[in-house]
Structure 1
């Protein structure tokens, strides 16, 4: 019997370990509570970086949030390395500014997704680490939005350097203001969830000013080539859709439960990656137009 008992534990031990690591909403410490509609699948407070990192390798309600943006960050790192060595040097008319604006986009994407994955990995560590990581997560979103603006403004106003300076300055100042708001203590509280979504949406929607200006002087068909406008609009739609789902806490609000897969925050994460990919596609169209079709010239 002793021999049988010694051989039994593997599955039972794994189950006990999982039960020890995963807790329900009612068992959470107050600082961990954010979304009451997700009732289980939470990690215990660990106060250990090693324990947080080990959570990469078992399933909980942050797993999708972590891996969606960790893999997204790695994806944009690989794309950046590939295009910096192949596409950007492909045309003689391309120069340092092209490299700078593409780098701004790639850095914004990698920093945003990387900080997000890091925050969600370490969020169960302690109140202090959770709070600090949450602020970095929000700052990463600003980096992505601002970094995406720079190349779009550069190509959208390729022949108008004064307008480039105007709109780059505008988005930089707005981004800095949002960063300041993220350091407010109440900014990260559950009650401010709609305000957070609204503020980041407003930062993204500030694109209305340069895009509206461009549409006043050019047709949509022209801008679809010169700045990849179609993909910029797709990006904006995906961001707004994600922000709306995040703020409304849909679908878990309709059916509270454990939600290991498919919660509003996870959907938001997926849409952020999809929006960044759409934006990158638009930048490639604009880059190809100005350097392959126009040879970097403002007049043909």
Structure 2
């Protein structure tokens, strides 16, 4: 489109119209005619699509910027005095020059805003020409569109276009302030579409499925966080800042692991950590759970120091098994100490570390059998040792998955650790093939007592026996010091570690290699 201007000297000057969208063939900006949704002809936003509404907002802004740019471009040339209002001409050449500088700055700001709108707001296919859109829209001030952009930005703060809407909103405000900076405007600035029209755009965004789901998720998350904070505050208050024991019903849900243990719980704020340390020497429902692993850990650790014990031959597999066994015992004692901490992240981290210790103990136990069993076939043995290492790594990764520590998935945790143990079936089957089932049975005989101890202890852990069968009157005595199923399980784990370490002496001789 072109416009013709007759200058004061009688010359006919032709000024090329500037568009708010760009001709891709001749200009780096976007083309004027863009395809928009057919529903835009009547501004029908009943589809409740956030993307469509944002695309509509883009069209409105680009249409407005096109009109403003067309009017400002008439003032950009020094020969366009015809378009300078008489009120500015009367004030002199200085005021006219100021108007042109004002126009130049306004055009630069407009082009920057147009670039952001074109780049960051979505587009939709199937439209008539962009110039047809304004015919369906009425009038609105720049401040109204700025308000709508701000509203959209504030309600969609978690979406990807949040920062882009913030930039567009800020630049619209700056542009509005610049347009008002002259006492006498050299041209009439067009207005944006009506508040009612843009309200429809905004409402379609606010009623979209995307926003509904986002809002529901945010509200649900806020409610969960607020409820957790209230539960923790109430439990801390009930425990008198950690100085007294509380009941199971007083605990926040995250701390509830065994509904059959109804009393004797610590709930100590992290900032009062000396109380957590001192609880090692107090009586509560975790006392036996802590010391059934802490005492064996200290005794075996001291036994490893030559000054306290006569040195004995320990090869690499036995040393690795002992290290991982000690790590398991220590992580367990740490977790049961921190289970009474009122800090959710600290408590949960220690629980997950406990699971890691269990995974490495299982992998190390299977690794000793593999190491000694494949002495006649070292290459195959190394391959299975790598598999043992990978199961240990899996025992490091899975405990840190969000669902893993959830009490609702307790049985899945048990299945996971059983699967780690059952990985030993593969090397045992290969050994039976390379040698004979009878030879493998004789080789594994020393290991069966430790396997039995693990399984018996696991049965107590999984069934919550005996506390699940005791009345509240008798369970009180178990809760007093923690003498329930968990402490029994701990006792069997310690026994299994001792039995497996004793079995290593027999495993070390391996299986007799076949005659070649």
Smaller-chain TM-score bracket: 0.7 to 0.9
Aligned position for 2:452: 237
Partner Cα separation in structure 1 for residue 505 and residue 355 of structure 2 = 27
Q: Which has the larger radius of gyration?
A: 2
> What are the within-5 Å matches in structure 2 for residues 50-199 of structure 1?
50-81=274-305, 85-88=311-314, 99-125=315-341, 126-199=343-416
Unaligned runs of 5+ in 2: 1-239
SS state at 2:261 partner: coil
Higher helix residue share: 1
The separation in 1 between residues aligned to 2:377 and 2:468, in whole angstroms, is: 48
Deviates more, 1:172-181 or 1:209-218: 209-218
Aligned equivalent of 1:31:
254
Q: Secondary structure at the match of 2:403?
A: helix
Determine whether 1:203 maps to 2:420. Answer: yes
State the 1:104 CA deviation. 1.0
Deviations 1:70-108 (A, max 9, x none): 1121233244446893224xxxxxxxxxx3212210111
Instruction: Report the CA distance between 1:39 and its aligned residue.
Output: 0.5
How far apart are residue 242 of structure 1 and its match?
2.0
CA contact (8 A) 2:301 2:326 kept: yes
- Per the alignment, residue 92 of structure 1 pairs with none
* Structure-2 separation of matches of 1:233 and 1:213: 19
**Cα separation, 2, equivalents of 1:219 and 1:261:** 47
1:249 aligns with 2:473: no
Check 1:219–1:277 CA distance in 2 against 1; reply closer, same or farther (3 A cut).
farther
Higher relative contact order structure (alpha carbons within 8 Å, sequence separation ≥ 6) = 1
Match of 2:121 in 1: none
Aligned with 2:404: secondary structure?
helix
Deviation (angstroms), 1:178: 3.1
TM-score (norm 1): 0.80
Instruction: Tell me how far apart the structure 2 counterparts of residues 79 and 285 of structure 1 sit (CA, whole Å).
Output: 21
CA distance in 2, matches of 1:46, 1:231: 47
> Are the structure 2 counterparts of residues 84 and 195 from structure 1 closer, same or farther at C-alpha, using a change threshold of 3 Å?
farther
SS in 2 for 1:21: coil
Q: Matches of 2:438 and 2:282 in 1, distance apart? A: 49
Post-superposition Cα deviations, 1:101-158, rounded to whole Å, max 9, x if no partner, equal: 1221011101010111011112212211111001100001112111222222111111
CA deviation after TM superposition for structure 1 residue 245, in Å: 2.1
Residue number in structure 2 paired with 1:262 = 483
What are the ranges of 5 or more consecutive residues in structure 1 without an aligned counterpart?
A: 1-16, 89-98
1:49 corresponds to: 273
Structure 1's consecutive aligned runs of 4 or more residues displaced over 3 angstroms after TM superposition are 78-84, 215-225
- Contact 1:108–1:144 (CA under 8 A) maintained in structure 2: yes
